[in-house]
A = this chain, B = another copy of it.
Amino acid sequence: MNFEPAAVARDTASIAASLSALEWITDSRVERLSQDFYWFSPILKRQLEGLRADAVVRPKTEDEIRTVVSACAQRRVPITVRGSGTGNYGQCMPLHGGVILDLSAYKQLLWVRPGVGRAQAGIRMMEMDKQIQQGIKGPDGRPCGGWELRCVPSTFRSATLGGLYGGGFGGVGSINHGPLAATGNVLGVRAMSIEPEPKVVELRAPEALLLHHVYGTNGLVLELEVGLAPAHAWLEAIVCFDRFDAALEFGDALAASPGLVKKSVTVLAAPIPDLLLLAVPVLAGSMTRGSHAVFVLVAEFSEPGFLQTVAQFGGTVSYRRTAAEVQASNRTIVEYTWNHTTLHALKVDKGLTYIQSGFQAGQHVQQAKAMRKLLGDEVLVHLEFIRTKEGAMNCSGLQLVRYTSDERLNQVMQIHREHGVYIANPHVYIVEDGKQGQVNPDVVATKLRFDPLGLLNPGKLRGWEQRERIMADAAAARVSLSTLPRF
């Protein structure tokens, strides 16, 4: 389907006018609300700069959402579903204008029971954790505290649960529970189809996962039911090392240590700690200049064993805050990890960009050492320890790269691939290009079911254009939705 920009703009304006009871944004704020952190990539910066929707709508109820969706479907107006736009690599920018469906006002925590919570997609994750801690009542009417989200991004303050589901992979906490896609982390979603008469259905896992990590291109997620983890008082610490290998080995041992309860282990090779010190003045004194740093969130009751492990690997604890101190200060080192590291580093060194990578569990320490040796000062090593979907300890890289040219950047990624390191390329905006060219045929089938008109941010899912061939191939290979268990 072709989308003629002027027609889309006219139809969008007309929808906004006809649904004036809803909250619409049509002024200069639309530009900002159309963007995300696409500028982390020099390539996407060139490709996506200037993209903007024609209007932003911020519904507060499912009825309001249904009204907008129906109107857009009737007029064939593209819809880009957004949380807070912290999804950090150009994956939720509207390629063909139309309406941005901003879900950040659709944000109720619906219920919490031991180990599981359910909320509307637009809830901010910090807010969800706060409400859970306050002991919101469960379906049985009893308050249920002592839990928290199993996995949050470093942007948990502003990022929404639906945004994490649509654009995220894992995060802080994945060191215990693996990525979002691991069985048990997401129990179900309520999804709406993009049609003149939108249908709403509950999808349970594993089917629910077909709407995960495709950036809202194959269905509209209204509610999520997610696994929760026991909430502990998290001690925050930074451990400095003279040698990178010691920092890495310490991080790996701590991450894997089954008797030590932790939430996060981040390894930042020199000179990343120096960049952070430069970018974040409040970190002054928290790290030794020139050192390799490991950022840690560990349960307060595990501190003795944590210190024992620090001593074993010859590290120095250069920063330590109790959970109470963290809460009182409203500052957490989580906001210097994951893509916040990237953000801060890019603030002070405009010549940097980054890549996203996944090592092979079991060989990850060896691979990380080898890649650092091979790529020297060009690639600044940033590793986050997480469990794989199958449960093995591993690390993900969000390496900073000194950018020289697109060609060299692609070479750096190719060198990783050639050494068995998986690359989730953050310099492309087509879904498949970020996933080694592949898309699960069931993802396309799901789009056929939930977005038969192809209105969800058109142009992002290449498989949609090839849907007839993909469906035929899948049928031939007997891979189809019907083979999935249904609940």
Contact = CB atoms under 8 A, between A and B. Distances in A.
A485 B311 contact: yes
B177 A258 contact: yes
Nearest to A230: B230
Given A178-B258, A184-B305, A256-B391, A115 B206 contact: no
A327 to B, nearest CB: 15
A176 interface: yes
A185 interface: yes
Given A115-B301, A146-B146, A183 B362 contact: no
A227 B387 contact: no
- With most chain B CB atoms within 10 A of its CB, the pick from A182, A227, A258, A393 is A258
Contacts of A388: 258
A421 interface: no
Contact of A304 (B205, B232, B362, B387): B205
Contacts of A304: 184, 187, 204-205, 487
A187 B302 CA distance: 9
A260 interface: yes
Interface in A95-147: 113-116, 146
B185 A115 contact: no
Given A115-B299, A259-B227, A305 B392 contact: no
- With most chain B CB atoms within 10 A of its CB, the pick from A150, A259, A260, A392 is A259
A168 B159 CA distance: 46
A152 to B, nearest CB: 15
Q: Is the interface of A mostly helix, strand, loop or mixed?
A: loop
Contacts of A395: none
A355 interface: no
Interface string A153-185: 000000000000000000000001110001111
A233 interface: yes
A260 B183 contact: yes
A258 B187 CA distance: 14
A447 B304 CA distance: 25
A357 to B, nearest CB: 20
A239 interface: no
A258 B114 contact: no
A261 interface: yes
A253 interface: yes
A390 interface: yes
Interface string A189-216: 0000000000000001110000000000
Nearest to A298: B184
Contacts of A302: 115, 184, 227
Closest 7 pairs between A and B when the two form their complex, measured CB to CB: A115-B301, A184-B259, A256-B391, A184-B305, A178-B258, A182-B259, A230-B230
Given A116-B301, A183-B309, A227-B302, 6 more contacts: A115-B299, A115-B302, A150-B259, A183-B305, A184-B259, A227-B259
Interface of A: 113-116, 146, 150, 176-178, 182-185, 187, 204-206, 227, 230, 232-233, 253, 255-261, 299-302, 304-305, 308-309, 311, 362, 387-393, 485, 487
11 contacts: A114-B300, A115-B232, A115-B300, A115-B301, A150-B259, A183-B257, A183-B309, A227-B301, A227-B302, A230-B230, A391-B393
